[in-house]
Structure 1
């Protein structure tokens, strides 16, 4: 089967890879190229939702995070690229007695909800790599990935299986739209509202080698040590902005991180990054058939959890397009989108 994928961000590339592995002839089309939007970032914190108030979204994410190691290993093996994946875990602060009680209760929930595949526990804080306090939350489910390198690794794997990635090409077969915030802005729900909007994020990359350390969550920030000897600090969530370039807020981000974690103080800055991330109105990925447009499908709205969700999103979309099997959770469905009209 021929399949066309519009959008070479993490959702588009992941879905193309999943379908190519099943024998589809995939063609990815993106005028800007691979990972040109928010997917070409530097942070890559694959962190789970807290293990409580369980729902389909959290269960879907859990499945995706648990399948990620083998999934990304296959990408690297077939294409030869390195996505920078490692399940390094995460440490979070415990600011007070109420937070400690909540953390311990979540640890009990995790034993059941995470099916014994990962742990959430309270431990003594490490001396020189800690989000603060004497005791911290440690989970073993969180992982890291290098977003830009992961997109490159997916592109290499797609090419290795005979797929193509073009800036412009004729559509063939079913068409998957994974076009980021621009695509969400063009879609309307049944009340006439845009299906989503861009949220600006900024991050900073430091020359600091902590590749064997867990990622940290501190003062609302992610600190992610990468396997290449760099450490990323991110990110902002800006609803109002005048441009998509890094600005003073990136430096403010770094100041906050250095104030909370002194070991970052003297690490040289390698890069500032900014991008517009696609946030669906539902805050969950938007997946499924495009109402009123036969043969067209949507996978969009990854926002902050796109890379963590990508393996499961990709396999679920491949099930739908190639086999006609619909395993999409209710919270992710495209049913509330207004039917597409030819004049759109």
Structure 2
């Protein structure tokens, strides 16, 4: 992975003055930029590696909720952001003129045994209350899935209507186009001006850990497979730890692994092969689908496993927006609003578990 190219005071500006400078043109940096622009700020985004270079440029794009039980502020936040996504991503598409691949098509999960079936029924009633009637968690027979369902010994599936899909790389491209359409600028190098937001993924977590003298987060490698398989209006499937995501462009993504220790962050290996094999075992109709791409990247995970948002602990006027890990695209529409509340208006509406100090 290419390194960030220079210290801030060595960068040459090609920009006019900005109210906010954002380092990182991934999902977090671009959504923060768009939110600030909507509120009238001048914004420059700096990324020497280009738009969506890191894990934000992946292929899976599963926007899936936590189970509706043992409710807490983090699950409430995720619910609100997934509901907001229903209007947020179509607005990005309207502003940019580009597809994000978003579709609120739900998810099917195999129920492997009677104990899990009992839990699934209990969660049905919990979802009615916790999801406020805005989405459903239902137990349905496999026959209702009309052939698009994983093998399940019980003959039953969970169908939730809150889950959605997005095409991560296309979403980043659309976000970037929306940022420039709103008057923001995205450049490789510039002198930082105004308040500064660091949305630099794994690089940022590593830099912050070194600066503070202890680990505040790390990177977790993921591998995924992209197939040619045209089922654009089908729900995603989760079975046996594997996500199967039909996209709207005639492709289907299978993901993903979680690797704490690795040598090459961008190489695929037998773990990707195993993902594909497990997906085909669950869904034999995928066996003849051509493989279009094998993808690997490193996702930023803060120490709390929740996103890290708020003021940098030892840099006045600078902020951190990082640690999306597996739920980044699902929570970022609302997270960007909350961060910009703080940066532009001084209002702290960030959940306690998301705050920078929670990972310190």
- TM (norm. structure 2) is 0.92
Distance apart, 1:248 and its partner CA? 2.4
Choose which of 123, 143, 164 in structure 2 pairs with 1:143.
164
User: Superposition RMSD on alpha carbons, in Å?
Assistant: 1.4
1:180 to 189, 201, 206: 201
Structure 1: how far apart are the matches of 2:285 and 2:224? Answer: 18
Unmatched 5+ stretches in structure 1: 339-344
Task: Tell me the CA shift for residue 124 of structure 1.
Answer: 1.1
What SS class does the counterpart of residue 243 from structure 1 fall into? coil
1:275 to 269, 278, 297: 297
Are the counterparts in 1 of residues 19 and 41 from structure 2 also a CA contact under 8 Å?
Answer: yes
Partner of 2:13: none
User: Quick check: 1:105 aligned with 2:122?
Assistant: yes
Match of 2:272 in 1: 250
After superposition, the Cα gap between the structure-2 partners of 1:34 and 1:190, relative to the gap in structure 1 and judged at 3 Å, is closer
Equivalent residue number for residue 236 of structure 1: 257
Match of residue 179 from structure 2: 158
Distance 1:303 1:84 in 2: 20
Cα deviation 1:116-155 (Å, max 9, x = unaligned): 1000010011242112221100000000000000000000
Within the candidate set 220, 236, 239, 1:199 is matched to 220
Q: How does 1:7-46 map to 2 (within 5 A)?
A: 7-46=24-63
- Describe the superposition over 1:1-20 as per-residue Cα deviations: whole angstroms up to 9, x where unpaired: 61000011100111111111
Cα distance in structure 2, aligned partners of 1:89 and 1:11: 24
* 1:294 shift after superposition: 1.1
Equivalent residue for 1:55?
A: 72
Q: Deviations over 1:45-98 (max 9, x none)?
A: 000000001111101100100000211111111111110101000000111110
Q: Secondary structure at the match of 1:187?
A: helix
Indicate the SS of the match to 2:91.
helix
Residues of 1 paired with 2:130 and 2:307: CA distance? 21
TM-superposed deviation, 1:187: 1.7
Q: Call closer, same or farther: CA 1:123–1:336 in 2, change over 3 Å.
A: closer
Cα pair 1:279 1:303 within 8 Å, conserved: yes
Query: Does the CA-based 8 Å contact 2:304-2:359 persist in structure 1?
Result: no
Q: Given the alignment, which residue of 134, 150, 158 partners 1:117?
A: 134
TM-aligned CA distance change 1:61 to 1:336, over 3 Å: closer
Contact 1:79 1:154 in 2 (8 A): yes
Q: Give 2:189's match in structure 1, choosing from 147, 153, 168.
A: 168
**Residue number in structure 2 paired with 1:128:** 147
Q: How many residues align?
A: 338
The alpha carbon displacement at 1:188 in A equals 3.5
Quote the Cα distance in structure 1 between the aligned partners of 2:40 and 2:96: 16
Give the SS at the match of 2:33: helix
Q: Secondary structure at the match of 2:123?
A: helix
Contact 1:205 1:271 in 2 (8 A): yes
SS of equivalent residue, structure 1 residue 231? strand
SS at match of 1:136: strand
Deviations 1:139-189 (A, max 9, x none): 000000000000000000000011011111110100000000111122239
Distance apart, 1:105 and its partner CA = 0.6
Contact in 1 for aligned 2:217/2:359 (Cα 8 Å): no
Q: Distance in 2 between matches of 1:320 and 1:132?
A: 47
Alpha-carbon distance between aligned partners in 2 of 1:7 and 1:320, rounded to the nearest angstrom:
19
Alignment of 1:324 onto 2:346: yes
> 1:63-78 to 2 correspondence within 5 Å?
63-78=80-95
Structure 1 residue 190: deviation in Å? 11
Looking at structure 2, the residues matched to 178 and 282 of structure 1 have their Cα atoms a distance apart, in angstroms, of 17
Deviation at 1:249, TM superposition (A): 1.7
Distance in 1 of aligned mates of 2:80 and 2:358: 25
Could you tell me how far apart the structure 2 residues matched to 1:139 and 1:192 are?
43
- 1:225 paired residue number: 246
